[in-house]
Amino acid sequence: MKKLADIALPLIVLAALLGFWEWKVAHDAIPAYILPAPSAIAEALADNFSSLMASLATTLMVTVLAFLAATAAALALAILFSESRMAGRIFNPYAVVLQVTPVVAIAPLILLWIGYDRMTLAETLIAALVAFFPVLSNTTLGLRSADFNLVDLMRLYGASRRQILWRVRLPTALPYLLSGMKTAGGLSLIGTVVAEFVAGSGAATGLAWRIIEAGNRLEIATMFAALALLALAGVAIFAALSLLEHALLHRWHESALKN
């Protein structure tokens, strides 16, 4: 019953907001080029469904590639940081620099260096840079949060550093890693959209380019339809990673156990 309420209440609020939006546009006679009604947006989505779905598939492909690349690289570097304090001192400042540097500022350089003939690779790299740091910082914290008593016990029994990492540090870091991945999933989508915006031109076929194209043509309803698909994609990514987190943690970790 509680799960049903958790799903139904947000949907009721959404329906009320959409109803008010529809009424407000009709009541105040707001021009469609300023704010289209939800019915007009739904009609634009239906009219352009195949092309918007193709653009969504392109955006999601880059998003998933960037997310996987960022997660793999961040996990490897976090393990290095946890095993070598010196490596952390040397490389962590550069990771922070990547995090605080606006991706919009470096995206044109990445596109120029990689080349517009390899657009997917350039967009994937840009999106991965955006998603990289949350996984790195969370996983590093998790690896360093392992119970030192368990670590000492493993050493007492003659366990190697690899065995301690596999048996103690990684299980401790798993909730932190999954939390960082949930943040990185949304950031991967944002990074992909930024990359597509910066790339411009017809070479980019993702949803971001469709938004620019619709805006230039004053097809505002189509623009809103593309925005809605991006929002739904972000929700789907978060939901999928939340399900993964629950599947991996619900049997043993306090954060996922039922109260």
A 10 A CB-CB count for 38 gives: 17
Q: What is the pLDDT of residue 257?
A: 60
C-alpha 52/C-alpha 71 separation (Å) is: 28
Please state the separation of Cα 124 from the chain's center in Å: 12
C-alpha 200/C-alpha 217 separation (Å) is: 15
User: Of 94, 45, 87, nearest to 230 (Cα)?
Assistant: 45
Q: What is the pLDDT of residue 135?
A: 95
Tens of pLDDT, residue by residue over 49-102, are: 999 999 999 999 999 999 999 999 999 999 998 888 888 888 888 888 888 888
C-alpha 168/C-alpha 160 separation (Å) is: 12
Q: Which two tokens stand for residue 238?
A: 């978060």
Q: What is the pLDDT of residue 37?
A: 93
Percentage of the chain lying above the pLDDT 90 cut: 54
Give the confidence band of 25 by pLDDT, cuts at 50, 70, 90: very high
User: Cα angle vertex 107, ends 101, 109, to 5°?
Assistant: 105
Give me the DSSP letters along 117-186.
GGHHHHHHHHHHHHHHHHHHHHHHHHHHTS-HHHHHHHHHTT--HHHHIIIIIHHHHHHHHHHHHHHHHH
Q: What is the pLDDT of residue 96?
A: 85
Q: What is the pLDDT of residue 11?
A: 85
Place of tokens 């978060």: 238
According to DSSP, residue 36 is labeled: -
Q: What is the pLDDT of residue 95?
A: 85
Kindly give, in sequence order, each residue whose CB lies less than 8 Å from that of residue 208, ignoring residues fewer than 6 positions away.
59, 192, 193, 194, 195, 196, 197
C-alpha 138/C-alpha 82 separation (Å) is: 12
Top pLDDT among 237 and 7 is at: 237
Average pLDDT of every residue of the chain: 89
Tens of pLDDT, residue by residue over 153-191, are: 888 888 888 888 888 999 999 999 999 999 999 999 999
- What's the whole-model pTM score? 0.90
> Per residue in 105-119, is it b (16+ CB within 10 Å) or e — as a string?
eebeebbeebeeeeb
Top pLDDT among 180 and 198 is at: 180
Residue 204 has pLDDT above 60, yes or no: no
Give the confidence band of 228 by pLDDT, cuts at 50, 70, 90: very high
